[in-house]
Amino acid sequence: MAESSTLAIAMNIFTAPSAAFAALKERPRVWLPLLLLLGGYAAVNVVYINAVDLGWFMDAQLASNPALTEAQREQAATAAASISPAVYGAISAVSTTLAISLVLFLVALYYTIVSFVSHDGVKLKQWFAFVWWCTLPAVFGLAATLVNLSIQDARFMLQDVINPLAFGNLLAIERTAATPVMSRILLGLDLFTIWSLALSAIGYQQWTGKSFVTSVAVVLGPLALIVVIAALVALR
């Protein structure tokens, strides 16, 4: 029987994924990756909000709204700068926690629907644990972001450029507040996203017995949808 302690799974997810997935399917649990990921994202948000110039940040966020006049943007930016960074940090941490939890739940639900259609017998509870563990490599990107924020002047950095390992940064693609949101999200993906997708494909094949090509196609389904949405938004 596969070693099934939480720490063993944490080590195996990086060194022996097949053993980790075998243990998770038998006894799914989610608290360790959930706490590490949500804690990491919350830390990044709090550090960033305390480092960025809030007036500039708010002005950059509002610049993409054509309905606002220059005077309205300046007024909103001034009002934002008067609020404590701790308040913004708390709001950002909570909203990020909810957003990530919702996205991963939807991905788990997507896998569950596929399982229902294909009759492979894997349940929502198992897929929910699966997606959190497959996302665990993101902690390295979060660590790199925290280091970057500690050594760089982040006062005038957009939030989606603070990860030094993001594809947009690695490819030196310049982004502004006017860059479409979905395009910024895609450019904000990093090398650890590829790692997570690879883990997902390996685990999906192991859990369902599907071919590797089918497993990759299923795993890339949500990402492909994001790309399509981004392309449609860019055409507007």
Predicted confidence at residue 1, as pLDDT, reads 44
Predicted confidence at residue 116, as pLDDT, reads 95
Say if residue 79's pLDDT is above 80.
no
Predicted confidence at residue 182, as pLDDT, reads 60
Say if residue 67's pLDDT is above 70.
no
Choose the most confident range, by mean pLDDT, from 69-83, 85-99, 170-184.
85-99
Say if residue 230's pLDDT is above 80.
no
**DSSP annotation string for the chain:** -----HHHHHHHHHH-HHHHHHHHHHS---HHHHHHHHHHHHHHHHHHHHHS-HHHHHHHHHTT-TTS-HHHHHHHHHHHHTS-HHHHHHHHHHHHHHHHHHHHHHHHHHHHHHHHHHT----HHHHHHHHHHHTTTHHHHHHHHHHHHHHS--TT--GGG--TTBHHHHTT----TTS-HHHHHHHT-BHHHHHHHHHHHHHHHHHH---HHHHHHHHHHHHHHHHHHHHHHHH-
Predicted confidence at residue 82, as pLDDT, reads 73
- For helices 85-118 and 124-134, give the axis angle rounded to 10 degrees: 130
108-128 per-position pLDDT tens digit:
999 999 999 999 999 999 999
The structure's pTM equals: 0.84
6-54 per-position pLDDT tens digit:
999 999 999 999 999 999 999 999 999 999 999 999 999 999 988 888 8
As a whole-number percent, the residues of the chain with pLDDT over 70 amount to 86
